[in-house]
């Protein structure tokens, strides 16, 4: 089998369509079909279920897909190390991230990294905790930003994220030095789509007051501003310029850790290793208190 076949295999699996995969790779649909057929013949197993709606990986195809990604990752690492030995930093860096990190930290972090390594292509995947962990485990991404890393991963803690209660700026509770769960137990609650916060509410008996569950933080803050309800969010969720709302510390203090994770620090590519170190320095220099 060839690396080109593996690239085509991955592209078809991700696109779930031969034509779309061919377009993304710059190949003809016929060439993609022939390469997949040749790979299936060589392996002796069907990699895809084919139907009018598209294609889906078979059970064995899913396992082969993980191996294919790992083989391409190793190939990319070899190329990067060879280039690094020549003093040339090139390659592709794939980053997975939960939404809150993408909104507040990644723009500046990626921007500063690209100034150092302008020849590196960066691909960003955004998702929930489970998705980010899955991408790391299956080598879809090189590194991932999360607060709930998988047990089989290696992680570096980048910062500590503190939970705050957010109320309208003319709310009676706005001037309190801190708020407890008893302060907001009878309030209408707007919950972010965040498993950590959902668990926090259940643990402290606030699940019954949840009236809305919203993904976008801008919408959540707009609803708080209009007195629709209050919310608890990590400080990392909050934009630099707030609407007419006030974040109040939660007591007792509840924090979570932001980490950068990978399958193994020993096997990351040179570019991914550089990015991990750069991330640590970037957040430390800016004293990002999350």
Give the tokens for residue 270: 């040179």
Distance, CA of 62 to CA of 253 (rounded, Å): 43
Contact 254, 200 (CB under 8 A): yes
In whole angstroms, what is the distance from residue 145 CA to residue 155 CA? 9
Domains of the chain: 1-65 (1.10.10.10), 159-256 (3.40.190.290)
> 46 exposed, middle or buried (CB, 10 Å; 0-12, 13-18, 19+)?
middle
Instruction: Return d(Cα 273, Cα 289) in angstroms, integer.
Output: 23
CA dihedral (55, 59, 61, 63) positive or negative: positive
Q: What is the pLDDT of residue 31?
A: 83
Tens-of-pLDDT digits for all 290 residues of the chain? 888 889 899 999 999 989 888 888 878 888 888 889 999 999 999 999 988 888 999 999 999 999 998 888 888 778 777 777 766 577 889 999 987 777 778 888 999 999 888 888 999 998 888 889 989 988 889 999 988 888 888 888 888 888 899 999 999 988 899 998 888 887 888 888 777 777 887 787 776 677 788 878 889 999 999 999 888 888 888 887 788 999 999 888 888 888 999 988 877 888 888 899 889 888 877 654 44
Rounded CA-CA distance 109/37 in Å is 42
Write the secondary structure of 135-198 as one string of H (helix), E (strand) and C (coil). HHHCCCCCEEEECCCCCCCEEEEEEEEEEEEEEECCCCCCCCCCECHHHHCCCCEEEECCHHHH
pLDDT for 87 equals 63
Q: Are 210 and 198 in contact (CB under 8 A)?
A: no
The tokens for 240 are: 């630099």
**Contacts (Cβ under 8 Å, ≥6 apart) of 259:** 145, 146, 147, 149, 155, 156, 157, 158
């Amino acid at each position: 089998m060839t690396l080109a076949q593996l690239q085509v295999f991955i592209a078809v699996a991700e696109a779930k369509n031969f034509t779309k995969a061919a377009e993304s790779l710059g190949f003809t649909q016929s060439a993609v079909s022939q390469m997949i057929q040749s790979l299936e013949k060589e392996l002796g197993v069907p990699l895809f279920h084919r139907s009018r709606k598209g294609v889906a990986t078979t059970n064995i195809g899913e396992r082969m897909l993980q191996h294919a990604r790992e083989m391409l990752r190793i190939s990319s690492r070899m190329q990067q190390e060879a280039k690094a030995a020549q003093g040339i930093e090139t390659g592709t860096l794939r980053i997975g991230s939960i939404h809150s990190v993408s909104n507040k930290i990644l723009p500046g972090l990626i921007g500063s990294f690209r100034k150092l390594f302008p020849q590196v292509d960066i691909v960003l995947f955004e998702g929930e905790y489970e998705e980010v962990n899955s991408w790391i485990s299956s080598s879809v991404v090189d590194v991932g930003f999360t607060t709930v890393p998988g047990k089989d991963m290696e992680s570096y803690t980048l910062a500590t994220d503190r939970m705050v209660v957010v109320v309208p700026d003319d709310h009676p509770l706005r001037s309190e030095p801190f708020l407890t769960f008893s302060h907001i137990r009878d309030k209408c609650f707007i919950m972010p789509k965040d498993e950590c916060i959902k668990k926090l509410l259940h643990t402290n008996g606030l699940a019954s007051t949840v009236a809305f569950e919203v993904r976008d933080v801008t919408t959540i803050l707009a609803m708080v501003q209009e007195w629709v309800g209050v919310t608890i969010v990590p400080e990392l969720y909050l934009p630099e310029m707030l609407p007419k709302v006030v974040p109040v510390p939660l007591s007792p203090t509840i924090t979570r850790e932001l980490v950068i994770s990978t399958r193994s620090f020993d096997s990351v590519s040179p570019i991914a290793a550089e990015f991990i170190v750069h991330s640590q320095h970037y957040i430390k220099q800016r004293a990002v208190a999350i």
